[in-house]
Amino acid sequence: MMILDIQQIETQIRRIAKTGSTGVALSRHCREESMPDHDADFLDILNVLNWGRVTHNPGEDCDMKFQVDGVDLEDEPLTAIVALLDENSLIVITLW
């Protein structure tokens, strides 16, 4: 079992977010359902990833899944569920 340093993970997520669309992918569910449902765009997601609070949220299919609680650009609460793909990329699975 791997022990995660949440501070290092948070730093990694923020570093990836700074690359924008180069390192941040969006799942089909996120693009087609979550973003419209929450009136969110890519810049709102980047704001959450850059400034939000990261907690570990392992799933049955992914141990590198994290919850990022923050706000969108209008200062409305927004949570992103992300999975780290490698050192330089992540995918946003869903929003709420």
Query: What pLDDT score does 58 carry?
Result: 63
Dihedral sign, CA of 33, 29, 83, 64? positive
Cα angle, residue 19 at apex, residues 52 and 33 outer, rounded to 5°: 60
| Domains of the chain by start residue, with CATH | 6-95 (3.10.450)
Residues in the chain, how many? 96
pLDDT tens-digit map of 41-95: 999 999 999 999 999 866 666 678 999 999 999 999 999 999 999 999 999 999 9
